[in-house]
Structure 1
Amino acid sequence: MHDGYEHGYSTRSPNLASRRPMPADFWETYVRIGWADIRDHYGTHTRVIRRWIREAGYPELAAARTAYLKAKRDRERPERERRARLAKLARQFHDW
């Protein structure tokens, strides 16, 4: 029985772009760049990106993105704190 799906995407869709298979590096790329830039990165429609997210497993993908952002903030925290201290010192000495 043919259910209209082959190779993980719909073969019934008249739009060829909507049949585009999920790239092998989608998971890593989405975790790194997020929703805002993923469409431009792959040059495809939002519907296709949403389908890829469903195929990748949204809860796991969202959790991986959250963990990545937390780790990134933790890595950048010392630099942000250093800049804040320098800005505070600059304000203090500017008024001196």
Structure 2
Amino acid sequence: MTITRHSAARALRALFGYADRLHPAALLALVLVLAGLAQAAAPFVVTLFTALVTLVKAGTFVAGALILGRLAVRLAAMVRSIPAAPPAPSIPTPRPAP
């Protein structure tokens, strides 16, 4: 059996139709159960969100480290390619006259 968009929409309309026919007390109980499920799932959702934020922070930290590493390698290559200064001219040492 294949679930198509048409059959899913028909099932959803049927569920909404049943909700319209529910007794007000049963509807209130259903709403309270759904609210309880939402509150029970809240710690899990917060934990997932915290894990996501932690992963994003770790990713930015690693990306920053990679950027700084590339800059350090470029700087080292640039400093190594600078030619050395010529040796300073030698200054003769004064000698006492004979």
User: Per the shorter chain, which TM-score range?
Assistant: 0.3 to 0.5
More relative contact order, 1 or 2 (CA 8 Å, 6+ apart): 1
Higher strand share: 1
Using the size of structure 1 for normalisation, the TM-score is 0.43
Report which of the two structures shows the higher radius of gyration computed on alpha carbons.
2
